[in-house]
Structure 1
């Protein structure tokens, strides 16, 4: 099943390289917020409202796509989700990265087994 995690931070200028290190650094420095953690949205433009359009202009978004078995999204704390994604970003899985001057999109080719093990290791919130 395809999942997406959308992180946001105040608008930053994205460098020409070292995207993964930048994202991990922003997470480690508590500069990232979780905007969305759920199933892959078919057409994100269908879900934009005026408030979201305003936020887009002043925010940098990091969108991370990965495949895993079904996830009970509500059972994971923000800290557990950020720890999980940091581990995934550090792991030597193949990643396709697209970036522009303010946003980064990362598509991770992660094995289902590895994803499920990581989620179990991170544990869910009680």
Structure 2
């Protein structure tokens, strides 16, 4: 089994699964998590995760930004990217003031760009 380099965190399971399958087709194996606790658990058991793609409203509990801070505490080198149905109009805390927020659903081209920028091209 190929190690996963990407964690997709979103409470919309169907959209997460579609995104994960698209990532796999692009050559980036992905795990999905439906909320903060599932994301933290996945990060703990999968050392290859280098990128977290986080909905700014990932489900009950933390906001996407609060979850991102918790993920970064556990893995400081983790690259974080955010998605939202609101796009760039979404408000964000000062710690993430410069965070780029991608509008979902992501097109395949936009997804490829994010993955290649964060993880490098697949060879």
Asked if these proteins are the same fold (TM beyond 0.5), I'd say no
Q: TM-score, normalised by structure 1?
A: 0.28
Return the structure number with greater strand share.
1
Larger-Rg structure = 1
Higher relative contact order (CA 8 A, sep 6+): 1
